[in-house]
Structure 1
Amino acid sequence: MAHRYEILARERCHEGYLRLDRVHLRHALFEGGMSPALSRECLVRGLAVAVLPYDPQRDEVVLVEQFRVGGIDDPRGAWITETIAGMAELGEEPGSVAVREAQEEAGLTIHDLRLIADYLPSPGGSSERVMLYCARCDTRGAGGIHGLDEEHEDIWAHVLPTDEALGLVAEGHMRAAMPIIALQWLALNRRQLQEEWAGGDWTAGLWSSQEPG
């Protein structure tokens, strides 16, 4: 009985830039038995793939800044500094999404993807799943304005010393979850990445994923 649920009905409430479903269900209770019938709205999202590019030789990271509608009521403003990220298309490998988005959003070629976390950022109201990576890059010449015109993207890529980026987290200036998680992970794994990547072969394949089995 534990962790069992029953979907009684599901209806589409809205489908535009985002999709909203209303789900009628009941679920198992920890103390036994089933809950009464419940109605919950769910923002239906697919797989989001995010990546923090890191240059171990220069000890620099690349973050991107762009307008986000979710920040329009935030007194700190609607331009948010984040990790590079994008939605996976049906059947697309997460590593391929990371490679594509790094090129589109920052003009970067990335290597050696390292999985940081595979998580649900807001399971109370959204089905979105995030796979968050760190990847090796060369920050020479990186930065500037990028994005796809057909997707109305206006993205400013920033190259930051790692200590400066970590300081933004420590001082509470980073507002999005992805860069906070990624940079805290980098703080824990920075020395190891420098040892493994600083002398690495930059002519190796475009990316090689190192994910848990």
Structure 2
Amino acid sequence: MKPSVISLERTHQRWATMSIATIRMPDGTTLLRDVEDHGCAAAVLPYDPARRTALLVEQLRAAELIAVGATASLEAIAGLIEGEDDAAATARREALEEGGLQLGALEHVATAWSMPGVSTERMALYLAEYRAEDRVGVGGGVAAESEEVRVVEMSLNELAALMAGDGFVDMKTLALVQALRLRRPELFD
């Protein structure tokens, strides 16, 4: 016998849906678990190999503000998969909306659970090369969605130093920077 869901009671629904799952374990015992669902997402770390730079975004994250008083989070570009979009289309859309960046080819790194202990979200992670001329807009997010995103372009060495000095606390960004360092170590020399 495998674990099974006996019931899923919705307790809240807005941007995210919160539920309480009742789960029957193989030995017959039952567990209650909180589950958050807001869909799946895609993230991309654009980098310019010629100039040895990366493009990230900085924005307020309410959870970080509440937990540690952080007023901004420096992150890889990301967003929720919407409608008929797939993960790659989402990464490209978000790069344009948040970073003003027109992306071509995407290099898939992984698709991973972002927080499997509580969330149903799976996130597709990508790397993407860009050039200065691929900046076709100002970025900044979608005003109608109250996004206040600041575009940050920095050298790959500066990015690596931030990561080594605990400058990042965002898992998707850590994973993408590490993937770039492993796949393209010559860019960090």
Q: Same fold (TM over 0.5)?
A: yes
Contact 2:8 2:20 in 1 (8 A): yes
Amino acid at match of 1:138: R
| 1:129 has 2:98 as partner | no
User: Residue 54 of structure 2: which of 58, 61, 85 is its match?
Assistant: 61
Report the secondary structure of 1:131's partner residue: strand
Contact 1:145 1:154 in 2 (8 A): no
Contact 1:95 1:113 in 2 (8 A): yes
When the two chains are superposed, the root-mean-square deviation of aligned CA atoms in Å is 2.1
Q: Between Structure 1 and Structure 2, which shows a larger proportion of helix residues?
A: 2
| 1:25 has 2:23 as partner | yes
1:7 paired residue number: 5
User: Residue 190 of structure 1: which of 169, 184, 187 is its match?
Assistant: 184
Contact 2:80 2:90 in 1 (8 A): yes
Q: Residues 25 and 193 (structure 1 numbering): CA distance in 2 closer, same or farther, change over 3 Å?
A: same
- The runs of 5 or more residues in structure 2 that have no matched partner are none
| 1:52 has 2:40 as partner | no
2:103 paired residue number: 110
Q: How far does residue 5 in structure 1 lie from its aligned partner after superposition?
A: 2.1
2:14 paired residue number: 16
Q: Deviations over 1:44-87 (max 9, x none)?
A: 13111000001111111001000110111343513100010000
The number of aligned residues is 187
Distance in structure 2 (CA, Å) of the matches to 1:88 and 1:163: 31
Q: How far does residue 183 in structure 1 lie from its aligned partner after superposition?
A: 0.5
User: Residue 90 of structure 2: which of 89, 97, 108 is its match?
Assistant: 97
1:164 paired residue number: 158
TM-score normalized with structure 1 length: 0.81
Distance in structure 1 (CA, Å) of the matches to 2:42 and 2:178: 18
Which has the greater radius of gyration?
Answer: 1
1:31 paired residue number: none
